[in-house]
Amino acid sequence: MKTKSPTDKSGERKNPSFGELLATNPDLSGLRAEYARKPALKRRKAAEWAYDGSLADSSVSAAVARIPGGGLPTPEWPPGFAALAIDPEYAPAVLTVGCHEYGSGRQSEGMGLLLHLTELSPETPDWVEIIDRAGEFLVEAKAAEDARRLYEVALKVRPRQQEFITGMGWALCRAGKQGEALPWMEQAVANAPDDSAALSDYGWALTELGRFDEAQPILEKAARLAPSDGDLPANNLARLRQLREECRRLS
């Protein structure tokens, strides 16, 4: 049974979804109707303006709220809602609203929006980066299976895209499927043999499988190639050595 959203004293639902507001809020539905009749370029420009403005308003509100006695009126809609109403194909707004819906407990609605990103033209500005950010959000939200699903669909559009290959491998790892992840990580390393991040992910997946002898030289190479501010390969290598020592003592 679906859990109903709580309501306030006026009977209105708190934290309504984008779809609910689009159907019931005259201002938001008015934006959709108004800009549906405008040329695509004008619609996109208006969406960009609304999106940038909503992010700025959100940042200012958050900053003021930290000041004792401070506070601004709550924005009418969460960031990205107006932009998505204006242009349903504007990728940054699709990403932002999709993450908002997913994080608000509406996983089906959120996932529908995030998957819609894969249906946009690959020529969309920052298309690869935006889809990868959606995958990272899902992994961080402990929804690795949904991240795997996202990358699986994206790979059908761009089978050789390195970010999607590494994303798929990492999502499978976080879903506890290291064995399935290895071929993807091996492919990522084959595509970029000096990429410290790809090497580190591959080496750590081998470590999680207990294949320490294979993992150590890979993690050592990753640590050597890592940028000065890249601590993860070195941390993975240190953890591997710790695990090897613990296994040696127990044997």
Q: Is the pLDDT of residue 13 over 80?
A: no
Mean of the pLDDT values across residues 121-149?
97
Distance from C-alpha of 159 to C-alpha of 85, rounded to nearest angstrom:
31
pLDDT at 50: 94
Mean of the pLDDT values across residues 101-120?
97
CA angle 124, 104, 152 (to 5 degrees): 45
Strand, helix or coil for residue 108? helix
Distance from C-alpha of 216 to C-alpha of 207, rounded to nearest angstrom:
8
As its CATH architecture, domain 18-184 has Alpha Horseshoe (1.25)
Q: How confident is the model at residue 248 (pLDDT cuts 50, 70, 90)?
A: confident
CA angle 6, 8, 12 (to 5 degrees): 85
Mean of the pLDDT values across residues 153-169?
97
Mean of the pLDDT values across residues 101-112?
96
Find all residues with CB under 8 Å of 120, minimum gap 6, and list them.
89, 91, 94, 127
Q: What are phi and psi of 61, to 5 degrees?
A: -60, -40
Please report, for the chain, the start and end positions of each structural domain, with discontinuous segments joined by +: 18-184, 192-251
Q: How confident is the model at residue 4 (pLDDT cuts 50, 70, 90)?
A: very low
Percentage of the residues of the chain whose pLDDT score is greater than 70: 87
Q: Is the pLDDT of residue 171 over 90?
A: yes
pLDDT, tens digit (0-9, with 9 covering 90-100), for 37-87: 999 999 999 999 999 988 775 553 444 344 455 554 556 788 999 999 999
pLDDT at 193: 96
